[in-house]
Every structure is written in structure tokens, then in C-alpha cells.
Amino acid sequence: MSRAFSYIRFSSKKQQKGESFRRQAEFAVEVCRENGWVLDESLTLNDLGVSAFRGANAKVGALGEFLEAIRIGRVLRGSVLIIESIDRLSRNKVGEALQLFISILNSGVSIVTREPRRTYSQDSINDIAALLEPLIYMSRAHEESATKSFRLKDAWARKKERAVGGLPMTKMAPRWLELTERGFRPIPERVETVREIFRLSAEGLGVNRILQHLVANPKKYPPFGDSGRWRDSYVLQILSNRAVYGEFQPQRREEGNKRVDCGEPIKNYFPPVVTEEQFFQVQAGMKARFRVLGRPGQFETNLFTGIVHCAETRTTMSVHTFRQSTTPGGEPRPYRYLTSGATANGSTRRGKGLSFPYPPFEQALLHALSELKPGDVLGVEHGGDERETEIADLSGKLVVMDHRIQDAELKAADPDEESPETYVGLLKTLHRSKKEAVRRLEELKADAASCKAVNLGEVQSLLGLLNCQGDELRDVRRKLKSKIRSVVSEIWVHITRVSHMQRVAQVQIHLRNGTVKKIAIQHTSGLRAKSRKST
């Protein structure tokens, strides 16, 4: 008794809601009943929403698994493959489709089709009359798919041209906008929520803290995501969405339902709700916080969490609290030390000189920041010619990449092209290169947004508010911690223990524009610390 396998495929997942799946499944049951075959369901041969135009179903789909099962002997000779029609098997070029068809028959597996009702076996390979009909169907299927592909790409290109001219490409829009007859219109209350999210992120709040703020004020900030409530993933999605400053990146679906970028981003496609500079400042802040481990204290115990490092052990330094006595027999009081990671994890003996009292350290660094001038953070010619040159170079390269991608797509879709697989491989390489170039460009823009004199002004303004108390002090220190990162990239500390009572910390403050400021802090137990600058 022969074993039969039913292969079901359709290109769009929308077809799953219709009759296609039911029709193909019922045909397999009907054929098995008529011929007394056993329908083997141990292999799930369903390619739902998988294209056969470029043979994806035979490479990465369920059909590919069936071919492998034939190769290893899992599917035996004398078995039957049931398909609705030849185009379910392949819509590739006639040569490739015929090769696939013959390879299955040569393995001893027969093919049964519904439209037209035919049975093909290994004997059919040498029967010209028997092969003529499937050849015609293969040719027709490929021409239909090629024509459809061309029309879709042409329609998409025309939509993009209209979008550059100010007309929407699709009805899709971010949830803080709505589409009207005149184009996209901001929804005022939702726009205010988006701006609040960016304001809080710019002040140093992480995604979870922003989420707590939104949830705590549901009337002022009602959720507008799919779930009907605020989620950290949606807050992060808003913070990372370039649509907030008006940019739109057209995308289209490739084989396997994968979305890929299509051409250059379109500027000013959406009404902007924050500036591009604000967007990239927030990206830089999130990136800096991403490297920070641990939960911050209520009053931001360490203003330099994650950016201060021990020069001797090359480890990140953190604040640890110890108990000390003011006088012999007196009550113990907490005292905070900036301690190297090597000392904290026990790989270096405590007392070797890798700890320094945190209060005088913070005081000295804040004093050094207060003395910075705008020129110190702007650097050569307002922010670095090298960075601006690289931004310009990458922008130009992206334009060239987009043209090369368009050319490769046309070649890959050309039915007369002899080696389309060459261009498919090239497209993968170009898309990877473009993705890396876009990532680097956004990184440079975020860095450029951080290297602004206004950031230094905000830091120094906050320094003047540190005499406040309570909740106000907590908010000031939180904002100061975030703004310090917009000016300072990292801090390196080398601690020398001069005596039991005296320690010296030599500090390098690396500013985001590449400038390095050096200070030395001398601390003697029982006395105020002294700091001095060095060139």
C-alpha cells in the first residue's frame, strides 16, 4: 500500500482565511480514498505564505524538508506527493522548475495534481507528450509571477515618488497621527504624551521609570498602543521610532514575508513632533544607560555610574558603603568609597589603594565640570571636522548603495537573466552593508547631538541647584547624572595610597568631542580634599 504526502502551499497568509487550505487538504483525502493510499501526516508539508517564484519553498520551506526526507530515505520509493497544481510546486524559471519536477520523479516518488487531474511517475520523464503539458504550466506560472512582481515594484516606485512630493504612500501612520484628506494630522493629546516620553528620557529616566510615570497618570497620558495599556516595549518603540522627527523608511516584503528597506528614507514625510537633534540626544542617552548595571539609589548615589573606571585594573568603579566610627567608642556612621571592580569582587586585596572616598571625588569632578568653557566641549570648528566628514561620506555611500540595490533587484527579477542567483547574493551583501552604514550614521548623529555647548550649559545650571533638599534634590541629581553623560564619555582614575591617612587620585576626564581634561585629587582623612588641574 502506497504512502501519500500532501503538500499545501500559497503565497500570501491572507489566503489562509479563504478556501485555499481547505480545498487542497480535501483533495489529498479524496485521492487517498479513491486509490487506497495511506495519507502520511508525520511530515507537515505546509508552506503557508511562502513564495515559489524564486524557489524559496524548495530551499527553506516545507518542500525543502520533503526533498531532504527523500534523500535520507525517510520517504521511500513508491510514495506519492499530492499537490493541487504544478504552480504549487514551483513558479521558478522553467529550467529550475523542470529540474525540481524530474528530481522528485527520479527518486521513485510519483506526483498527483488536481488541476488538471494527472499522475506523473518516473516513466513520464521519457514521455515527451506527458512532459509537454507540465512544461506549459511551468512557463505560464513563472510569467504570471514575473509580471506580478514587476507591477508591484513599479506601483511601489510610483507610490514613493508621490510620497517625496508630499502625498502619503499608505494609510499606515504612527499612533500619534491620523490620516485625513489633507494628509497626516497630529493628535494633540498623544503628541504631548510622546513629547513627555522624550523629555523624561532626556532627563535621564530609563524606560521602566517612564513607564511608571505614564501608568501613574492614566488620565493625563492614556495609552494608545494595541494592548490598551502602557508597556515598556511600546515606550521603547516610541523612543526608537524615527517617525517622531518626520522620517519614513519605505519597506517592502521579500520572499519569506521578510520586510526589507526600500531605497532612502523620506525626510519630512510625517509631521515632526520632536526635533531630529532631540531624537539623537535621547538615543545617545539610552545607549549610555544601557551599559550601566545595577539599580540607582534614591538620590543617585553615584553620578558617574558606568563611566568611571580604574586605570590599574581596567575595571568599572562603583560606590560601596562602609561603616566608620567618628571617635573611639563613638556611633558608626556610613561612608561611601569609590571602589574598583577588582576590589569589589575580591580579585584584589582591599586596602591596596584601589578605593577613594566618593564625596571628595564627586565634589572635585563637579568643580572641574563647572570650569569648562563652551570651546572645551565643541572642540575644533564646532564639534569635529572628522565626524562631520564621516557623516557626509556615509550619507553619500547610502545613496550609491540604494542605486546598486535597485539595479540588482531589476536583474534578479529579469526573466531573461541567465544567473539571477548571483544578484540575489549581491542583494544580501548590499542590505547587510546598508544596515551597518545606517547604524554607524545614527551613532555619529547621536554623538554629534551630544557634543553641544547647550549640554554643558545645562550641566552647569544643574550644578547651581545642588543646595536644594528632598524630592527636588533627587530630581536635580537624576537630571545631572544624565546630562553629565552628554558631555563626558568616560573617566579614568589611578589611585595612589601615599600613607595610611592620605590618598591621591589622578583623574582623566574624557569629553565626548575627544578632549581630555586631567585633575589630581588629594585626600587626607579628617581634612578636606584638595584638587588641582594639570594640562
pLDDT at 410 over 50: yes
pLDDT at 121 over 90: yes
Residue 116, Cα to own-chain centre: how many angstroms? 47
pLDDT digits over 343-388, tens only?
766 666 554 557 899 999 999 999 998 888 877 666 544 445 677 7
| The pLDDT of residue 79 | 94
Where residue 150 falls among pLDDT bands split at 50, 70, 90?
A: low
The torsion of the CA quartet 382, 387, 388, 393, rounded to 10 degrees, works out to 170
Residue with cell 520572499: 255
Where residue 187 falls among pLDDT bands split at 50, 70, 90?
A: very high
The rounded percent of the chain whose pLDDT value lies above 70 is 76
| The pLDDT of residue 443 | 76
| The pLDDT of residue 266 | 82
* Residues belonging to the active site: 11
Task: Calculate mean pLDDT across residues 193-210.
Answer: 89
pLDDT at 317 over 50: yes
Report yes or no: 283 and 446 within 8 Å, Cβ to Cβ.
yes
- Dist CA 203 CA 300 (whole Å): 13
Where is average pLDDT lowest: 84-88, 224-228, 513-517, 524-528? 524-528
| The pLDDT of residue 286 | 79
What CATH architecture applies to the domain 172-274?
Answer: Alpha-Beta Complex (3.90)
pLDDT at 330 over 50: yes
| The pLDDT of residue 472 | 82
| The pLDDT of residue 21 | 83
pLDDT digits over 458-484, tens only?
788 878 877 787 778 888 888 888 788
Among 494, 78, 67, 45, smallest CA distance to 313 is for 494
pLDDT digits over 23-42, tens only?
888 999 999 999 999 999 88
pLDDT digits over 256-272, tens only?
456 667 767 788 889 99
pLDDT at 418 over 80: no
pLDDT digits over 151-183, tens only?
666 566 666 666 655 567 777 889 999 988 878
- SS3 state of residue 51: coil
- Dist CA 202 CA 407 (whole Å): 41
Q: Which residue has the higher pLDDT, 132 or 57?
A: 132
Among 205, 203, 282, smallest CA distance to 238 is for 282
> Considering the entire predicted model, what is its pTM?
0.52
| The pLDDT of residue 268 | 86
Is residue 509 packed enough to be buried (19+ CB in 10 Å), middle (13-18) or exposed (0-12)?
buried
pLDDT at 413 over 70: no
| The pLDDT of residue 205 | 82
Residue with cell 479563504: 18
Q: Which CATH number, 3.20.20.70, 1.10.1740.10, 3.40.50.1390, 1.20.272.10, labels domain 3-147? A: 3.40.50.1390
- Dist CA 21 CA 522 (whole Å): 78
| Segments making up each domain of the chain, as ranges | 3-147, 172-274, 308-377+455-534, 385-449
pLDDT digits over 282-298, tens only?
887 777 665 544 444 44
Burial annotation 357-390 (CB, 10 A radius, 16+ → b, else e): bbebbbbbbbebbeebeeebbbbeeebbeebeee
| The pLDDT of residue 63 | 86
pLDDT at 495 over 80: yes
